[in-house]
Amino acid sequence: RQLHREFLRAGANIMQTFTFYASDDKLENRGNKLSYTGAQINEAACDLAREVANEGDALVAGGVSQTPSYLSCKSGTEVKAIFKKQLDVFTRKNVDFHIAEYFEHVEEAVWAVEVLKETGKPVAASLCIGPEGDMHGVSPGECAVRLIKAGAQIVGVNCHFDPLTCVKTVKMMKEGVEKAGLKAHYMVQPLAFHTPDCNCQGFIDLPEFPFGLEPRILTRWDMHKYAREAYNAGIRFIGGCCGFEPYHIRAVAEELAPERGFLPAASEKHGLWGAGLEMHTKPWVRARARRDYWESLKPASGRPLCASLSSPDSWGVTRGDAELMQQKEATSKDQLKPLFDRSKTH
C-alpha cells in the first residue's frame, strides 16, 4: 500500500496490481512454500491497488505474465487455462484494463492476449525483449504485429533492458506496425539499470543479476533523458520496471510536466534540477544548483577494481530445451551441483 502510494504521489496514474508472476504454476514451482492460494494473493493485490488508486486520479491494471508451464512445453490450452484463472479474479475485482507483461516468447503473449480480450476491457501487451527480438528470434516489429492482430490495443516492452534499449525496441515495433498498415498505442516499462552489455536474454544473463546491480542504477537525470526520448518516439504509456523507485518515476513525471500540464504531488519536496541546493551551507554545493551541471555529469562508480561492463552468461537455451523443464519439487543438491560447476565465478 505504501509503495502504491509513493508511486501515485510521484506522478503515476496507473496502479499495477502486484500480481507479477502470480500464476498457480509459478507459485508452486521448485519447492516454493505457499501460505496463500494464487487467487487470494491476486484478490488482495487488486484491493490494495484500487484503494490507493482512489486516493488520486489513477487507473488499476491487472497483469498476467509468462508461465513456467509454457517453458515446460505445456500446450496452449493448458497455458490459457492458467491465464483464465487469474483473469477471473481481475473481473471479479473490476480492474480498469489488463496487461500481458514480461513475455519472452511472443507465442505465449498472444495466448495471453486472446484470453484477456474476452472481457472486452482494453488489453496492453508487453514483451521483455530487446532489439534482437523474442527468444525464438521473432523480430520486435513482427512481435508487435502479432500482438495487435491477437487483440492488443497497446504494445511495447518491459523489463530486461535499460531505458534507451527499450525505447529503441519499441521504435522497431512501431515501424513494423506501421509497415503492416496497423495502428496501436505504445508502452515502455524498462529497467532502472544501465545494461549496455546484455545479450538477447537481457539482464537475467548479467552476472550481477539480481543481487549486485547497484552500480547500474539510473540517476534521476538519466530518467529525464529517458522520459523525453520515449515521448519523442511517440510512446505515451511511459513507466518503469525493476529498479525503479518513486523518485525515478517522479523524474519522469517532472520531465513530462509540460505535456501533462501538472507536476506530481511529490515535487513539493524538492526543487527541479537541484534547485534546492541553493540553500546548502557549502558554497561549492550551491554551485551545483543548475541544470547543466547535472545534465553533463558523468558519475563515477567509486569502484576502481570493477570493470564497466560484464560478460553475460550465455547459455542460449530457451523453451524447448530440456534444461528449462520446471518442477514442483525443490531444486535438489544433485541438481545444483552441475550448475555450480558450469557457472563461472565472475
Site residues for its own copies, window 291-320 (CB under 8 A)?
Answer: 292-294, 296-311, 313, 315, 317
Lay out the site mask for its own copies across 164-203 (x = CB under 8 A, - = otherwise).
Answer: -----------------------------xxxxx------
Kindly list the distances between the CA atom of residue 191 and the CA atoms of 104, 112, 141, 165, 249, in Å, as whole numbers in the listed order: 15, 23, 21, 10, 12
Q: Is 223 in the site for its own copies (CB under 8 A)?
A: no
Cβ atoms of residues 122 and 143 within 8 Å: no
> What does each C-alpha distance from 320 to 259, 326, 339 come to in angstroms?
45, 12, 19
159 is in an annotated binding site: yes
The piece of 41-49, 85-93, 125-133, 324-332 that touches its own copies (CB under 8 A) is 324-332
Work out how close the CB of 244 gets to its own copies at its nearest, in angstroms, rounded to a whole number. 12
The answer to whether 216 contacts its own copies (rule: CB under 8 A) is yes
CA 122, CA 151: separation in Å to the nearest integer? 9
- Any idea which residue has 520515449 for its cell? 230
| DSSP-derived 3-state class of residue 225 | helix
Which of 84, 137, 179, 339 touches its own copies by CB under 8 A?
Answer: 339
46 is in an annotated binding site: no
Interface of this chain with its own copies, residues 248 to 287, rule: CB under 8 A:
274, 277-287
For the chain, report the end-to-end CA distance as a whole number of angstroms. 37
Q: How far is C-alpha 288 from the geometric centre of its chain's CA atoms?
A: 32
99 vs 17: CA distance, rounded Å: 10
241 labeled part of a ligand binding site: yes
131 counts as binding its own copies under rule CB under 8 A: no
Contact yes or no for 192/248 (Cβ under 8 A): yes
Residues 15-34 that bind its own copies (CB under 8 A): 29-32
Q: Which range in 80-88, 170-178, 225-233, 338-346 contacts its own copies by CB under 8 A? A: 338-346
CA-based nearest residue to 121, from 85, 146, 144, 94: 94
Q: Which of residues 42-81 bind its own copies (CB under 8 A)?
A: 68, 71
Choice from 76, 88, 260, 336 touching its own copies (CB under 8 A): 336
